[in-house]
Amino acid sequence: MYEQLKRLEAEGGTIRVGATCFGWMGGGFVAAMRHVPGMTISVLAAEDTSDGVEMLTRFGGLGRDDLVIDPTLSEAEAAVRAGKTVVTADTELMARVEALDLITDVTPFPESGARTAWHAIENGKDLVLINIETDVTVGRELTHRAAQAGSLYSVSSGDEPGCLMELWDFVRTLGYEPIVIGKGKNNPLNPDATPDTVRESAARADKDAYQVASYVDGTKTMFELTCVANATGCTPAQPGMTGPEADLSTVSEVFRLKEDGGTLDAPYTVDYVQGSAMSGGVFVTVRIADERIADDLTYLKVGKGPYFTFFRPYHLWFLEAPISLARAYFYRETTLVPLDEPVADVATIAKRDLSPGDVLDTFGGYTFRGVNYRYEEAHRLQALPVGLAPGASVVRPLRKGDVITWNDVRLDEESYAVRLRRAQDARTH
> Which DSSP state fits 402?
P
pLDDT at 21 over 90: yes
User: In this structure, how many other beta carbons lie within 10 angstroms of the beta carbon of residue 340?
Assistant: 10
Residue 329 has what pLDDT?
Answer: 98
The residue ranges of every structural domain in the chain are 2-159+318-331, 160-314, 346-428
Q: Rounded mean pLDDT of the chain?
A: 97
Is the Cα torsion angle 68, 319, 242, 180 positive or negative in sign?
positive
Helix (H, G, I), strand (E, B) or coil at 184: strand
pTM over 0.95: yes
Residues 77-100, mean pLDDT to the nearest whole number:
98
Closest by CA to 42, choosing from 50, 51, 52, 333, is 52
pLDDT at 192: 97
Q: Looking at per-residue confidence, does 65 or 263 come out higher? A: 65
Identify the pLDDT of residue 209: 96
183-209 mean pLDDT: 95
pLDDT at 24 over 90: yes
Averaged pLDDT for residues 380-396: 98
User: What is the percent of the chain with per-residue pLDDT over 70, rounded to a whole number?
Assistant: 100
pLDDT digits (tens, 9 = 90+) for 394-425: 999 999 999 999 999 999 999 999 999 999 99
Confidence category of residue 429, pLDDT binned at 50, 70, 90? confident
At 232 the three-state DSSP class reads helix
pLDDT-derived band at 217 (thresholds 50, 70, 90) equals very high
Cβ atoms 167, 192 nearer than 8 A: no
CA gap 33, 17 in Å, rounded = 10
| Sequence letter at residue 365 | G
Instruction: Taking residues 174-186, report their average pLDDT.
Output: 97
Q: Is the pLDDT of residue 50 over 90?
A: yes
Q: Average of pLDDT values for 233-251?
A: 97
DSSP secondary structure string for all residues of 374-399: EHHHHHHTTBPBGGG-TTPEE-S-B-
Distances (CA, A) of 176 to 39, 179, 307: 36, 9, 10
CATH code, residues 346-428: 3.90.1210.10
Round to whole Å and give the CA distance between 38 and 363: 36
Cα–Cα distances (Å) from 262 to 135, 176, 224, 245, 289, in that order, read 33, 19, 25, 15, 16
CA 264 to chain centre: 26
pLDDT at residue number 307? 97
CA-based R_g, the chain, Å: 22
Average confidence (pLDDT) over 215-227: 98
The pLDDT value recorded for residue 58 is 97
What amino acid is encoded at 217 in this protein?
A: D
φ and ψ at residue 18, rounded to 5 degrees: -105, 130
Highest CATH level, class, for 2-159+318-331: alpha beta
Q: Give me the pLDDT at residue 263, please.
A: 87
pLDDT, mean of residues 136-164 = 97
